[in-house]
């Protein structure tokens, strides 16, 4: 009998490097007394952003009403607030019965896939993607089939390339707009084409729109549910990003389109929701206030706003660098930056490890987002402008050392050691 307790085989092909070995190494270095600038995750509260006070008050004032389990789909005021938002955006046929509240969109991603997939079913997922989608497909017995959103195309999907990947096992397509990790905002024409493809092949559309109001300059957000009519559309959003309330763990999915044909599927989803009893009740009371109140995110994403100005630092620093290439993000909280490997012979993981070990800056290497190329990394624009200037100064120093062949061997040795230790 072996003394080794092994994890489930279902975890073999599951990756979530945003909080993987690099993050664990950063935590280890912090315990050793190093100050790490962490740009690997979009967590507004860690960078001084506050949840709107009205949302906190709404939760506090309803604590007495939050001591029992609520309905498995969530409290009615929260679900109705989501309905009203959808209706205001032009989405037809949604009622509170088609809205499910979860412990963040992350939980709902798992639930909607678990209710849908059988062994070997395929889901079209963008590349680059938010890696939880690929992981959740795998954990729920499916196969993530990645459709390319290439840097040279502004990280936009090619609808013809998407359709070419559809097989008899394809059940759904995931559309992340505004996009994480690239910051791309999809134009209406592309979304309309994807909607028609989904309808033609009977695919469920999972529209991950958690960054729907985080837009810069002239970017326009088009809700996918306004375009999808002849198949099922699941619109997913929550309080974490626009409302800076990650720790509240409140997300929702609103179903529209061919609801009658999806009755059995929605029944299965309700069963799964019942099995976890309900989602966090106190924080649900903040939903109505958030969606119906003043949208303070606009102060942050327009000229002079903190997110806008931090994004400007990133785009300007990348443009000024002889080593970096960037499609300026038009939405969300990230930039997906390329390294010119003709000038700098380094891959994304080695760069991220050296940047952490030598310069005490943590980024997410591009491989974390299920891309076939190895020369990108993701940063968040949540830090203030001054901090980001420091970050890019340190990046420039490291890249210049690469270019001159002056890579620091002691740090590289530590990198190899850390890489081995944290696999």
Tell whether 64 and 174 lie within a shared domain: yes
In whole angstroms, give the CA distance from residue 227 to residue 53.
35
pLDDT computed for residue 209 by the predictor: 98
**Phi then psi for 358, rounded to 5 degrees?**
-95, -35
Q: What are the start-end ranges of the E strands in 258-410?
A: 324-326, 334-339, 361-362, 364-365, 376-380
pLDDT computed for residue 10 by the predictor: 82
pLDDT computed for residue 1 by the predictor: 55
Tell whether 204 and 124 lie within a shared domain: yes
The CATH number for 101's domain is 3.40.640.10
B/e letters for 277-303, b = 16+ CB within 10 Å, e = fewer, are: ebbbbbbbbbbbbbbeeeebbeebbee
Tell whether 45 and 121 lie within a shared domain: no
Residue 241: give the domain boundaries: 53-292
Nearby residues of 269 by Cβ (< 8 Å), 6 or more positions away: 100, 111, 112, 115
pLDDT computed for residue 177 by the predictor: 98
Residue 1 lies in a domain: no
Tell whether 116 and 149 lie within a shared domain: yes
Q: Given the structure tokens 């989803």, which residue do they identify?
A: 269
Whether the ω angle into residue 83 lies within 30 degrees of 0, i.e. cis, is: no
pLDDT computed for residue 409 by the predictor: 38
Tell whether 114 and 251 lie within a shared domain: yes
> 118: how many CB neighbours lie within 10 A of its CB?
10
In the chain, the number of structural domains is 2
Tell whether 45 and 59 lie within a shared domain: no
Residue at which a domain ends, from 251, 273, 292: 292
The CATH number for 319's domain is 3.90.1150.10
B/e letters for 363-393, b = 16+ CB within 10 Å, e = fewer, are: bbbbbbbbbeebbbbbbbbbbebeebbebbe
pLDDT computed for residue 303 by the predictor: 97
Residue 4 lies in a domain: no
Tell whether 75 and 195 lie within a shared domain: yes
Residue 2 lies in a domain: no
pLDDT computed for residue 14 by the predictor: 80
Tell whether 159 and 22 lie within a shared domain: no
What is the residue-averaged pLDDT of the chain? Answer: 93
- Ranges of the chain with pLDDT below 70: 1-2, 406-423
């Amino acid at each position: 009998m072996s003394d080794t307790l092994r994890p489930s085989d279902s975890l073999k092909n599951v990756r979530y490097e945003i909080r993987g070995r690099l993050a664990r190494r950063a935590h280890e270095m912090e315990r050793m007394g190093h100050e790490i600038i962490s740009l690997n995750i979009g967590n507004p509260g860690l960078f001084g952003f506050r949840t709107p006070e009205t949302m906190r008050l709404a939760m506090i004032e309803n604590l007495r009403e939050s001591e029992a389990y609520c309905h498995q789909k969530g409290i009615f005021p929260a679900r109705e607030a989501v309905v009203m938002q959808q209706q205001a955006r032009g989405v037809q046929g949604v009622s509170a019965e088609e809205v499910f509240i979860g412990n963040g969109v992350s939980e709902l991603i798992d639930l909607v896939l678990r209710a849908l997939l059988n062994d070997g079913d395929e889901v079209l997922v963008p590349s680059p993607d938010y890696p939880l989608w690929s992981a959740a497909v795998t954990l729920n017995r499916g196969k993530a089939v990645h459709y390319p959103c290439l840097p040279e195309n502004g990280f936009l999907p090619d609808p013809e390339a998407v359709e070419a990947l559809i097989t008899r096992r394809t059940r759904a397509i995931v559309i992340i707009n505004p996009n994480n990790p690239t910051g791309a905002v999809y134009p209406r024409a592309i979304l309309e084409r994807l909607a028609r493809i989904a309808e033609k092949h009977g695919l469920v559309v999972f529209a991950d729109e958690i960054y729907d109001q985080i837009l810069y300059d002239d970017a326009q957000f088009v809700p996918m549910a306004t375009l999808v009519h002849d198949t099922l559309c699941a619109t997913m959003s929550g309080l974490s990003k626009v409302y800076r309330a990650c720790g509240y763990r409140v997300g929702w999915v609103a179903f529209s389109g061919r609801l009658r044909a999806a009755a059995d599927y929605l029944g299965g989803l309700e069963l799964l929701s019942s099995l976890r009893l309900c989602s966090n009740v106190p924080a649900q009371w903040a939903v109505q206030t958030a969606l119906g109140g003043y949208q303070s995110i606009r102060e942050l994403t327009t000229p002079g706003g903190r997110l806008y100005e931090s994004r400007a630092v990133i785009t300007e620093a990348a443009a000024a660098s002889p080593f970096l290439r960037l499609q300026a993000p038009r939405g969300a909280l990230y930039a997906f930056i390329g390294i010119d490997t003709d000038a700098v012979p380094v891959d994304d993981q080695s760069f991220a490890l050296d940047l952490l070990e030598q310069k005490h800056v943590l980024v997410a290497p591009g491989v974390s987002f299920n891309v076939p190329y190895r020369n990108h990394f993701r940063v968040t624009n949540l830090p203030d402008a001054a901090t980001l200037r420091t970050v890019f100064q340190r990046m420039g120093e490291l890249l210049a050392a690469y270019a001159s062949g002056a890579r620091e061997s002691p740090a590289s040795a530590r990198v190899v050691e850390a890489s081995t230790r944290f696999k």
